[in-house]
Amino acid sequence: MEESTPKYQTFVVNSAKYKTLYTTKFEMRKKWERPNPNEIRSYIPGTILKLMVKPGQEVKEGECLLILEAMKMENKIEMPFDGKVKEIHVEEGVKIPKDVIMVTVE
């Protein structure tokens, strides 16, 4: 898999610029984004079994927002802090993949 004249990229390490090739893994890495604490995202793909709250409802820390069925278990998604439900983005019975915003709170 040798190219005769590879196209080198510029790569900076500690202020020094080097000419080198990138690896595929390096090019495909995810850029880090600060997580938004108001977004309740799914940590595993699954089915929304039951919604326990309505938009505008005041919820205390630890209370169950919804039940996500995944890996044959009913997972309780809990409220991370005292607050209010702003918007619910999913419906009961819907299958969702990982990292989807299910509920926004404030």
Among 5, 7, 11, 88, binds other proteins (CB under 8 A): 11
Among 22, 86, 89, 99, binds other proteins (CB under 8 A): 22
CA distance 77 to 17: 46
Toward other proteins, which CB reaches closer, 49 or 70?
70
Toward other proteins, which CB reaches closer, 21 or 78?
21
- Contact window for other proteins (CB under 8 A) among 25-33, 53-61, 73-81, 85-93: 25-33
Question: Within 10 Å of residue 76's Cβ, how many Cβ atoms?
Answer: 13
- Residue 24 has phi, psi (to 5 degrees) of -60, -40
- 13 close to 25: Cβ distance less than 8 angstroms: no
Among 7, 54, 56, 71, binds other proteins (CB under 8 A): 71
Among 41, 45, 52, 104, binds other proteins (CB under 8 A): 45
Stretch (H or E) spanning 26? helix 24-27
The CA-to-CA distance between both ends of the chain, in Å, stands at: 53
**For the chain, how long is the longest CA-to-CA vector?**
65
Task: Kindly list the residues in this chain that would bind other proteins in the complex (CB under 8 A).
Answer: 1, 6, 8, 11, 13-26, 29-30, 32, 44-46, 70-71, 95, 97-98
